Amino acid sequence: MAIRIKSRSGESVEQMMRRFKKLCEKEGLTKDIKRKEYYEKPSERKRRAMRKSQTRRFKEE
């Protein structure tokens, strides 16, 4: 899956980079890269998911 950006008329390089970064964030690539930067044991992953679900439940109440 490749993200391709075509330059629009009168668009600077900074604007293209900003658009590219937004597309990457929208696709979840930046979050995925940060998550895979370090190895996380499966037990730690489950523990983190449990904590996240508990905080979400407490916020709903």
3-51 pLDDT, tens per residue? 888 999 999 999 999 999 999 999 989 889 998 999 999 999 999 999 9
pTM more than 0.75:
no
In a domain, 33, yes or no: yes
d(CA 40, CA 30): 17
In a domain, 22, yes or no: yes
In a domain, 48, yes or no: yes
Q: What are residue 4's phi and psi, to 5 degrees?
A: -115, 140
In a domain, 51, yes or no: yes
In a domain, 2, yes or no: no
Q: Give the count of domains, the chain.
A: 1
